[in-house]
Amino acid sequence: MRVSIVTVEPKSFRPPLTNDSFELVHVLKNQLEYGINEEIVSLKEGDTLTFDGKIPHSLRNKTSKETVLFKVYFMNSGEL
């Protein structure tokens, strides 16, 4: 397991990626969009999302403020 606080810069996009973990994402500040396969999930402060990291996933902060996330990675292997 790995726990992180992640800051997502304003007006930023991270292209889709995959990893060998199950992910939990909790929005501590602001809002953002997660792309999971072809679905867009809008998250705001206080929302939590869980998903299989083997599925391609991206994120986008469309706002002019940074977004802060609490993330937990439950690893399936020694990766990360």
Instruction: Give 30-65 pLDDT, tens digit per residue.
Output: 999 999 998 999 999 999 999 999 999 999 999 999
pLDDT mean over 17-32: 97
Range of the domain at 33: 2-75
Tokens of 62: 């469309």
Q: What is the pTM of this model?
A: 0.91
> What confidence tier does 79 reach under pLDDT thresholds 50, 70, 90?
low
SS3 content of the chain, % helix, strand, coil (to 5): 0, 65, 35
80 lies in a domain?
Answer: no
CATH number at residue 19: 2.60.120.10
21 lies in a domain?
Answer: yes
Mean pLDDT of the chain: 95
Tokens of 54: 């083997």
**CA gap 14, 74 in Å, rounded:** 21
